[in-house]
Amino acid sequence: MFRKLIFAILLLSGAESFGQNFDIVPKPVSVTPGNGRFVISGKTRICSGKDLEAPAMLFVSQMEKLTGTELSFSDIPSKGSIKLQTDLAMDAEEYVLNVSKKSVSVTGGSEAGVYYGLQSLLQLAINNDGAIPAVMITDKPYMAYRGAMMDVSRHFFSVDEVKRFIDILALHKLNRFHWHLTDDQGWRIEIKQYPLLTSIGSIRKETLVGQMDESREMKYDGIPYGGYYTQDQIREIVDYAAKRYIEVIPEIELPGHGVAALTAYPWLGCTGGPYEVWTRWGISKDVFCAGKESTFEFIENVLTEVLELFPSKYIHIGGDECPKDRWEKCPLCQKRMKDEGLENEKELQSYFMQRIEKWMHSHGREIIGWDEIMDGGISKTAIIMAWRDQFNGTKAAQQGNRVIMTPKWNCYLDYSQTSDPDKYEPIGPRRYLSIRQAYRLDPYDRLTPEEQHNILGVQANVWAEYIPDFQYHQKKVLPRLAALSEVGWAYDRKNYDDFVKRLASFARLYDKEGLVYSDYVFKGIE
């Protein structure tokens, strides 16, 4: 009797007892198990119209790489196949994945929706060793903007590494890649009209060794360090990302964090230099001069080339950490303030940013700026990237500006992952950002439903001062990126314990992909 009862319970509870694993990260809207299994094998075909051949072929190559199974593509529907289709009544990124004993169908609101459905199918294939339990999954993202930023100035990452980072974003169903291309420590984008930006500005003569401590003498390695992307390489990366439904948003930092550019063209600064591409970390007092017309001419020429390379609606123009020391002493900056009726240097920065924003609008684009651009007054049209504190973003959203939330205490993946970094982690920022804390981000906190519409989404930022190579970059990013991807995709269905359980399955995909990741969360180290 007792054994019969146990058997009946097992039969009813189904899922776990028969090795069915429906773990998907980020969490879908609904998962409804069915009966039986669909086995993917070398005989399985993936069928779609020509319009969906691109996501189909990406899935074919992912399956081959991760499971060794070689699927074939056909534009003629056949029995027992994986069928792809679009349904224009659905949201663009929405999908329905239906797995039955006999066939699989993926229906998306657009190519991107179908692609996301296939990413979920891939996770199910890996979780269940190719024998996918019947299931109906409905899914769509909560937030429109789901991003990650890579800093290639402090340390340079090759074209292949950038593509690999884009692969990682795609696996997490992110759709924006914010590319931090310029900073004090190196200018990384070829600009044809200003060749010295790369021939001089992309190279620093050496790099600080160890953790920066301004109270002690700093040590340098004596080794020149550089790297930049040609315009052809940039086009290649933009195209690579687009094929994975990811838009690349470039950042050209203004008016601070510009020492690399000032080194190449010293007339861009207030004092005229000489300057030197920075070899240490921190915030430089040397910034673009806001008084000279030639500064704006230079920036507009640079941005003209940037717009040709990047089709994104949004262009990031920096705006953070711009000390006003030089402007206070510069006769041209002071004259500009007088001529424009500006009360102080913060207003001069607003003048600077708003002037570039106007130019951007006249070229059909919009600007994103770090939250400091609010300090001296902002236009209603600027998009605020809140980083210092979430409540800068909250305030901006209340004032009617659009906001991308990247508050450092939840989103800076260069921060330590454990509460005892000296024990567990290499040198780097000692601020603590556990995966749990990343997961806790609530970008809508204290906002009315109306104000919440101004939150475009969330983004992970990975500053690279202490990230010398791509192996370590991955260890910083994974798996905390999964937590932020779930905030952006599945905000309304978050549950940390359930997330950690699903994450263990997702890590099998990391393993098969050959990705490097931190395993603190799996070892219970916080």
415 touching ligand ACM, by CB under 6 A: no
What is the bridge-based pairing of β-strands 30-39 and 72-74? unpaired
Residue 195 CB, shortest distance to ligand ACM, in Å, is: 28
The number of C-alpha atoms within 13 Å of 125 and in the hemisphere containing its C-beta is 26
Site string for Zn ion, 303-342 (x = CB under 5 A): ---------------------------x-xx---------
The DSSP output letter for 211 is S
CB atoms within 10 A of CB 164: 17
Between the two ends of the chain, the Cα-to-Cα distance in Å is 46
What residues numbered 101-140 form the site for Zn ion, per CB under 5 A?
none
Of 320 and 451, which has the nearer Cβ to ligand ACM?
320
φ, ψ dihedrals at 287, nearest 5° = -135, 170
289 touching Zn ion, by CB under 5 A: yes
Closest CB to ligand ACM: residue number: 320
Residue 350 CB, shortest distance to Zn ion, in Å, is: 16
Structure tokens at 382: 């600027």
Site string for ligand ACM, 314-333 (x = CB under 6 A): ------xx------------
291 touching Zn ion, by CB under 5 A: yes
> Residue 291 touches which of Zn ion, ligand ACM, none (CB < 5 to 8 A by kind)?
Zn ion
Residue 251 CB, shortest distance to ligand ACM, in Å, is: 10
Catalytic positions: 183, 257, 321
Of 134 and 260, which has the nearer Cβ to ligand ACM?
260
Q: Which stretch binds Zn ion (CB under 5 A): 5-13, 182-190, 268-276, 481-489?
A: 268-276
- Per the DSSP assignment, residues forming a β-bridge with 187 are 182
What residues numbered 101-140 form the site for ligand ACM, per CB under 6 A?
none
Buried b / exposed e over 336-348, threshold 16 CB at 10 Å, is: bbeeeebeebbbb
**Closest residue by Cα to residue 354 from 206, 428, 254, 441:** 254
Whether residue 109 contacts residue 121, with contact meaning beta carbons closer than 8 Å, is answered with no
**Residue 369: its H or E element:** strand 366-370
Of 184 and 345, which has the nearer Cβ to Zn ion?
345
270 touching Zn ion, by CB under 5 A: yes
d(CA 2, CA 10): 12
Of 333 and 373, which has the nearer Cβ to Zn ion?
333
Number of residues that bind Zn ion (CB under 5 A): 6
Q: Where are the alpha helices (DSSP H) in 243-384?
A: 259-264, 293-309, 325-329, 331-340, 345-362
Q: Where are the alpha helices (DSSP H) in 128-266?
A: 159-171, 196-199, 231-242, 259-264
Residues ≥6 apart with Cβ < 8 Å to 171: 119, 509, 513
> Residue 63 touches which of ligand ACM, Zn ion, none (CB < 5 to 8 A by kind)?
none
3-state secondary structure of 217: coil
> Residue 370 touches which of Zn ion, ligand ACM, none (CB < 5 to 8 A by kind)?
ligand ACM
**Of residues 145, 298, 370, 517, which one binds ligand ACM by CB under 6 A?**
370
Of 325 and 498, which has the nearer Cβ to ligand ACM?
325
Which residues bind to Zn ion, rule: CB under 5 A?
Answer: 270, 289, 291, 330, 332-333
Which residues bind to ligand ACM, rule: CB under 6 A?
Answer: 320-321, 370, 387
